[in-house]
Amino acid sequence: MSTGTRRERERATVRESMVAVALALLEREGAAALTVRRVAGEVEYTAPVVYQHFANKQALLLALVEVGYERLRERMAAAARTATTTDDRLLAPTGAYVRFAGDNPHLYALMNNTAVDPHDRFRAAAPITRLVVDLMTGWAAEHGVVLASPVEACEVAWGTLYGIASLGQLDTIGFDRAAHLADRALRALMLTWRTHPDGDYPAA
């Protein structure tokens, strides 16, 4: 029975190389090139072997999405750590987010593709949601401000960031400008949170 664990280890290794190969393929040649047969071929297997590690193509794509969100979380957390000022601890992860979208455009598109089950995507993104909530409550505390609804503020910031980063994929805008726009948008939000932490803004 001692061979059982090695078998498992080998199985996991094959699975991981499939994910790695699929990631490389996706980013190198785009979503259209990401076919089951090519992934299998790139790890020197035939197509049906893929189905011993993933229930179907969706499951493989979901694995890529999960890796994507994990890498994104790492980048954002690292950016937050290097920040020195209070506002930078929010602005730096923002920049990291847009930069990630620029560095891995196809993976980023997949992470937000409606073809992958929205529920699964949301679950994969949960750690980032937690991180952002933490960053935001930390920011508010350092500013001596209590937000009426931190989760609402978080959702607004998340949506904003997502939308502006997606704008960067348009070649008429580009990711450098998108990073600038995201910075502006978040600064505006922060300004409002400080002056109106209750979330109730006056109209005119």
Partner DNA sequence: ATAGCTATTCTAACGTTGTTAGATCCCGAG
Partner DNA sequence: CTCGGGATCTAACAACGTTAGAATAGCTAT
Contact footprint for a copy of itself (CB under 8 A)? 31, 85-88, 109, 112-115, 118-119, 121-122, 143, 152, 155-156, 158-167, 169-173, 177-178, 181-182, 184-185, 187-192, 194-196, 199, 201-204
Binding site partner of 151, from DNA, a copy of itself, none, Cβ cut-off 5-8 A by kind = none
Nearest residue (CB) to a copy of itself, 18 versus 165: 165
Q: Residue 12 Cβ, how far from a copy of itself at the closest point, in Å? A: 31
Nearest residue (CB) to a copy of itself, 2 versus 201: 201
Q: Where are the beta strands (DSSP E) in 134-200?
A: none
Binding site partner of 48, from a copy of itself, DNA, none, Cβ cut-off 5-8 A by kind = DNA
CB 165 within 8 A of CB 97: yes
CB atoms within 10 A of CB 129: 15
Binding site partner of 2, from DNA, a copy of itself, none, Cβ cut-off 5-8 A by kind = DNA
C-alpha span between 144 and 128 (Å, rounded): 24
- Taking phi first (over 0 means left), then psi (-120 to 50 degrees means alpha), and beta for anything else, what does residue 56 get? beta
Which residues within the stretch 51-80 sit at the binding site for DNA (CB under 7 A)?
51-52, 56-58
C-alpha span between 32 and 35 (Å, rounded): 7
* 45 forms part of the interface with DNA (CB under 7 A): yes
The Cβ-side half-sphere exposure at 159, using a 13 Å CA radius, reads 7
Largest CA distance in the chain: 75
3 state SS of 36: helix
* 46 forms part of the interface with DNA (CB under 7 A): yes
Where does this chain bind DNA (CB under 7 A)?
1-3, 7, 11, 14, 34-38, 44-49, 51-52, 56-58
